[in-house]
Amino acid sequence: MSETMLAVRRMTKRFGGLMAVRQVTLEIPQGAIASLIGPNGAGKTTFFNCVTGFYTPEEGDILFRGASIKGLRADQIAWRGIARTFQNIRLFGEMTALENILVGMHPRLKGGVLAALTGLHGGEERRAIARAMELLEFVGLAGYGDYPAVNLSYGLQRRLEIARALASNPALLLLDEPTAGMNPGETDEMMVFIRRLRDELALTVFLIEHDMKLVMGVSDQVSVMDYGQKISEGTPAAVQSDPAVIEAYLGTVSHTMMEEFDETPLPPEARG
Ligand SMILES: Nc1ncnc2c1ncn2[C@@H]1O[C@H](COP(=O)(O)OP(=O)(O)O)[C@@H](O)[C@H]1O
Ligand SMILES: [Mg+2]
């Protein structure tokens, strides 16, 4: 029997007159890979920002492993076991890859790595560095520990961001457009890597993603937002053939995205 990792109930977040998230209810079982998709401006990042404590929703509740986290600060939520990456990479560019991960071990501290390390002495510091090295290796950055983050390729910076998120030992990992700006080869590697996060680290993964091949290939469940509302949810196949989803995407999506979206053949009964 699997526990519910995240349960969001009728959550609403407004910016002035705009309802960026409108009465959205969504559950993610432990061990799932769940995706949140929808056109630009649908409210996906705002949804993540509410779950991770960057914003407090005006209405509704957010339960993490059965306990409400609504109203907690971002660092408190991080300590409870939710980590995230950002749509736009947020690394300390002048710090090394290793130092960026060490900072990730201390979500309470907003200062630099020196501040993060002041609390560590002797064996504790050695253990922290050993763990950071393990994480570098897990994300495919073995040997890059001494590189300033800014010198890493874009694809490697994305992986370093994930390593930093993993450093806080989360149970739930939120990835906001992990393949944004990646080429097709890097995107395929990311798909394999997301599976490893679940299979090897036993994480529950919740991702916002535009690449439909990745979404359809990796997700146990897909939720679709449009204009702040959840308009569809289900298996990749069910969501892909939902007329409401096709309509939402037809309105806004670029041709290349639509081509990718059409790549998986429709079931026979859906063909003309
Ligand atoms: N801090 C903010 N202040 C005002 N409006 C915002 C803010 N953040 C997001 N929005 C608006 O909320 C809507 C949803 O944005 P966002 O959650 O970023 O969408 P998505 O991630 O699906 O592209 C957009 O109309 C956006 O302009
Ligand atoms: Mg976004």
Query: Which ligand has its closest atom nearest to the C-alpha of 46?
Result: 1
C-alpha 120 – ligand 2 centre gap (Å): 36
Query: Ligand 1, closest atom to CA 228?
Result: 14
Find out whether 219 and 33 touch, Cβ atoms under 8 Å. Answer: yes
Residue nearest ligand 1's atom 8 by CA: 46
pLDDT tens per residue across span 250-271? 765 444 444 444 444 444 444 4
The CB of 29 under 6 Å from ligand 1? The reply is no
CA gap 134, 203 in Å, rounded: 17
Q: State residue 113's pLDDT score.
A: 55
Q: How many angstroms separate the alpha carbon of residue 120 from the centre of ligand 1?
A: 39
51: nearest Cα among 37, 34, 64, 67: 64
Distance (angstroms) between ligand 1 centre and the Cα of 84 equals 18
148 C-alpha to ligand 2 centroid (Å): 27
Share of the chain above pLDDT 90, in %: 71
11, 13, 15, best to mutate for ligand 1 pocket (most atoms within 8 Å of CB): 15
| Ligand lying closest to the C-alpha of residue 21 | 1
Q: Considering only the top CATH level, what class is 4-81+170-270?
A: alpha beta
Tell me, using a 6 A CB cutoff, whether residue 46 lines ligand 1: yes
Nearest protein CA to atom 5 of ligand 1, as residue: 15
Give the pLDDT confidence of 188-231 residue by residue, as tens digits. 999 999 999 999 999 999 999 999 999 999 999 999 999 999 99
Q: What is the whole-number distance in angstroms between the Cα of residue 46 and the centre of ligand 1?
A: 6
pTM given for the model: 0.87
Residues 47-80 have pLDDT tens digits of: 999 999 999 999 999 999 999 999 999 999 999 9
Report domain extents, the chain.
4-81+170-270, 93-164
Which atom in ligand 1 lies closest to the alpha carbon of residue 208? 21
Ligand 1, atom 7: nearest CA belongs to which residue?
15
| Ligand that lies nearest to the alpha carbon of residue 88, given by its number in the listed order | 2
More confident residue, 117 or 201: 201
Q: Count other Cβ atoms within 10 Å, centred on residue 222.
A: 26
pLDDT of residue 124: 73
What's at 42, amino acid-wise? A
pLDDT digits (tens, 9 = 90+) for 141-193: 999 999 999 999 888 999 999 999 999 999 999 999 999 988 999 999 999 99
Give pLDDT, residue 125.
75
Q: Which protein residues have their CB within 5 A of the ion that is ligand 2?
A: 44-45, 87
Task: Give the model's pLDDT for residue 239.
Answer: 95
Question: What integer pLDDT is reported at residue 29 of this predicted model?
Answer: 98
229 in contact with ligand 1, CB cutoff 6 A: no
Note whether 245 and 253 are within 8 A (CB).
Answer: no
Confidence class for position 117, pLDDT limits 50, 70, 90: low
CB of 20 closer than 6 A to ligand 1? yes
Per-residue pLDDT, 118: 56
